Structure 1
Amino acid sequence: MSPRADPRRGLAGRAPRPRHWGVACAALVVLALSAADCRDASGPAGSPVPGMSAGALRQGGDSVITLPGNSAAASLALAPDGTLWVAERAVGGVARIAPSGTITQHRLSERGGGEVSGIARAGDGTVWFTTIMQIGRLHPDGRITRADFGYPEYPEGITVGPDGAAWFTTLDPAIGRADATTGQPSIMAVLPSTIEVPADSITTGPDQAVWFSQVATEPGGSDGIGRVSIDGTYTSWPLPPGTAPHYITAGPDGALWFTQRGGIGRITVRGEVSSFPVPQAELPNCIAPGPEGTVWFTTATKVGRLAPSGKVTLWSVPGAVELSALVAVPGGRFWLADSKADVVRRFSPPR
C-alpha cells in the first residue's frame, strides 16, 4: 500500500497519528458497497452520556478539565457563549464543556463509528465532525446525524466554508463539501495523487475559498499550500522541498499562517510566501490567531507566540504531554487540548 493510501501514515518527520485501523478495516467491508449511498441517519447516539454532573470532573479550578474515558482530545471549537466543543478521537464522540465546567459527552453509535478527528462549529450552533468514512453533525437539540462517505476518500480535517457548508479534506486526496441543509457530502476538487493533505490542515480564508496544506508523497509531488474556491477551482503554490506544512489558519492580517518543519510559514492570498524560524528543538504543531496581530502555536509541551515583529516567545505548559489543539478565548487566553493527558487546559500567557 502506498503512503497516501494508508490511513496509518504520518507526515514525513512526524510520528503517525494513531488510527483505529481495525475498526476501519471492518468498516470497509460493510461500507465499500454503499460508499456512494449518502444517507443521513439519526439515532440514540445523540443522547449525552449520563452521570456528567456540573463541576464533577474539574481539577485546579478552571485551569485543567479532565475528560472521562481516555478520550484522546483532538480538535477544538469555541462557541461565542464560551462553550467549548472537543473531538474525542479514542472514544468516538464529541464533548461539550459549558462555561461552568459541566461536561457532556455525545457518543456515536457503533454503526460506522470510530474516532472523531476533525470538528468545526457553524453559525447556527451545529457542530460538524469527521469520523472513519463519515461526515457527521451534532445538532443544537443534541441529535447526531451522519452521512456515509466511503474509502478511499476517508474524511479528516473539516472547516465551515464561506458558503456555510462544511468543507473537508480526504485521504485520497481531495477536498469535499457537505451541504449545510441536507448534510450530503460530495467531492469538489480531486487533488494530485503525488501529494497528501495532512489531517486537521484546512481553514476558511478571507477570500471566499478554503485553504489547506499539502505534502509531497511521491516523486514529482511538491510541498505547498492549496486553495479551492466555492466553485471547485483548485490552485496551489509550491514550497521548498522538506517544508512539510501542516496546521493552517486564517491570520489576523488577512494572510494564511501554517506550521512547518522548523518554523511558521505565511502565505498571502496572492501566493507570496515568507517563513519565521522557531528554536530547532521545538517542532511547531497547532496554530491559531491571537490578539494584537499575533499568531500563536503549540509544540508538544509549550505554547509559542509569534509577534508582528517576527519575535518568537515560548512558554512551558506545566503537566503538558502532547498538546494537540488550541483555540483563542476573548481576553487573551487560550484553550489547549492535550491528547495524551486526556485534558483540556486554560492557558493565560504571562504579561
Structure 2
Amino acid sequence: MTPAGQRDEGVVRNMSPRSGARRSPAGTASCARHRVVACAVLLVLALPAADCRYTNDPANNPAPGMSAGASQQSTADSVITLPGNAAAESLVLAPDGALWVAERDVGGVARIDPAGTITQHRLSIGWDHLSGIARAGDGTVWFITTSHIGRLRPDGRITRANFGYPGGITVGPDGAAWFTTSSGSDPAIGRADAATGELSMVAVLPSAIGLPGGITTGPDHAMWFSQVAKEQGSSDGIGRLSIEGVYTSWPLPPGTAPRSITVGPDGALWFAQRGGIGRITVRGEVSYFPVPQDERPNCVVAGPEGAVWFTTATKVGRLTPSGDVTLWSVPDAVQLSALVAVPGGGFWLTDSKADVVRRFSPPR
C-alpha cells in the first residue's frame, strides 16, 4: 500500500521501439511496414476528482488534482471566461452540447455544460503544459501534455503516463486514441487502447521528417498527420499510417510547416500551413490555397456551407469549395488557437492569451 499522503506513481518502463522501415526511391511516396512494439506502458496514477466551488478570490483556487465548479455563465453569451489564467488551447464539442477545453497553463481540462457551468479538472503538480484533447464515444477525454498521454474518464478519474513528446491526438476508427510523438530522437505514432489504457508504439518514422504534429482519422480509416522537417531546407510532408502499421508520406515544399489537419466536406484532408491552407486527397494529390493579408492559419476544421474554416491570430477564415477565401476579424481577440462548428450556426473559439472561449458567427 502507498503511505498516507503519497501517490503511487506506478512504474513506466523505457521503450526501445524497433522499426523495419524500407525507404522508396527519391521522388516517390515512401512506404514502410513497422512492427507493433511488444512492450507497452499502462496509464497510471489515478487522481480522484473532488468538487468545490470556484469564486473570484484567488485563495479559493482548487488544488491540483481537484475539480472546480465555476459560477454559471450563459452559453448564449459571446464570451465565457475560464478561471485562473487557463490559456485555452484546444476544444471539442460533445453530443450533449458540452464543450471540453484543454487549459494549457493551469494543467487541466475544463467542461462547459450547455447551461454555462464550468468544471475544471486539474492535473497533479509538475505536469507539463496541456495542449490537445480528443473525446471518445464513451465520454472519455484523452489529452496530451509536453511529455504525457492522459485520460479523463467519465467518472472524473484521471490517469497518465510519460510517453515521449506528443504533438497531436485523435480517436481512431478502432476507438483507441492515436497520437503523434517521438521515440528518443525519432518521430513516431503511438496508440492508447480504449479498454485497457495500454500505450504502444505503432510505428517509428524516418528521423528526417522531424516531430509530426496534428493528426486525424481519414475517410479511409487511416491516421493522417502533418510532418515538419527536422532540418531547415528539407521537405515537410503529410503522412499516412494504416491501423496495420503501413506508413506512407507525401513531400511538401520546404518551409510549408503544416500544422492542424482535418477531413473536409469533400473527403480530402485539409491542413493549416504557413501562408495558407493545403489539401491532399487520399490518393496523394496536393493543392494549395493562399490566405491573404499574410495571415498564418492555426487550426482548420470542416464547417457549414461545404467549406473549411480556420483561425488566425485574430480572425476566422472560410475557404469555399471554389477556392474563395474570406476573413472576419473577431472583436477583442488576442490569440485564437482553435475552433469548432456549432450545430445551427456559428463557432466556438479558444483564445489562449485572453483565457476565454468565444462564440462567433460570421456576419452575413
Q: Tell me the TM-score normalised to structure 1 length.
A: 0.84
Aligned residue for 1:194, secondary structure, equals helix
Contact 2:70 2:119 in 1 (8 A): no
Contact 1:58 1:64 in 2 (8 A): no
Residue in structure 2 matching 1:38, options 22, 32, 41: 41
Which structure shows the bigger proportion of residues in helix conformation?
1
Q: Which residue of 2 aligns with 1:133?
A: 147
Which residue type is aligned with residue 174 of structure 2? D
Contact 2:54 2:69 in 1 (8 A): no
The count of corresponding residues between Structure 1 and Structure 2 is 317
Which residue type is aligned with residue 78 of structure 1? L
Q: Which residue of 2 aligns with 1:269?
A: 282
- The question of 1:78 aligning with 2:93 is answered yes
CA deviation map 1:157-176 (0-9, x unaligned): 10001111000011441111
Runs of 5+ unmatched residues, structure 1: 1-29
Q: CA deviation at 1:285?
A: 1.1
Q: Which residue of 2 aligns with 1:326?
A: 339
Aligned residue for 2:305, secondary structure, equals helix
Cα gap change, 1:142/1:272 in structure 2, threshold over 3 Å: closer, same or farther? same
Contact 1:302 1:316 in 2 (8 A): yes
Cα gap change, 1:281/1:59 in structure 2, threshold over 3 Å: closer, same or farther? farther
- The question of 1:169 aligning with 2:146 is answered no
Cα gap change, 1:209/1:60 in structure 2, threshold over 3 Å: closer, same or farther? closer
Q: CA deviation at 1:181?
A: 0.8
C-alpha distance in 1, partners of 2:179/2:323? 31
Which residue type is aligned with residue 254 of structure 2? P
Aligned residue for 1:292, secondary structure, equals helix
Contact 2:226 2:258 in 1 (8 A): yes
Q: Which residue of 1 aligns with 2:295?
A: 282
Contact 1:67 1:344 in 2 (8 A): yes
Note the aligned Cα RMSD (angstroms): 2.3
CA deviation map 1:164-202 (0-9, x unaligned): 100001144111101111111111111111122354x11
C-alpha distance in 1, partners of 2:170/2:45? 22
Which residue type is aligned with residue 347 of structure 1? F
Q: CA deviation at 1:61?
A: 4.9
Cα gap change, 1:31/1:319 in structure 2, threshold over 3 Å: closer, same or farther? farther
Q: Which residue of 1 aligns with 2:170?
A: 159
Cα gap change, 1:40/1:100 in structure 2, threshold over 3 Å: closer, same or farther? same
Cα gap change, 1:159/1:49 in structure 2, threshold over 3 Å: closer, same or farther? farther
Which residue type is aligned with residue 293 of structure 1? G
Q: Tell me the TM-score normalised to structure 2 length.
A: 0.82
Which residue type is aligned with residue 71 of structure 1? A
Rg larger for? 2
Cα gap change, 1:344/1:262 in structure 2, threshold over 3 Å: closer, same or farther? same
Contact 2:74 2:116 in 1 (8 A): no
Runs of 5+ unmatched residues, structure 2: 1-8, 16-39, 56-67
- The question of 1:197 aligning with 2:200 is answered no
C-alpha distance in 1, partners of 2:10/2:280? 39
Aligned residue for 2:111, secondary structure, equals strand
Deviating more after overlay: 129-138 vs 87-96:
129-138
Q: CA deviation at 1:59?
A: 7.9
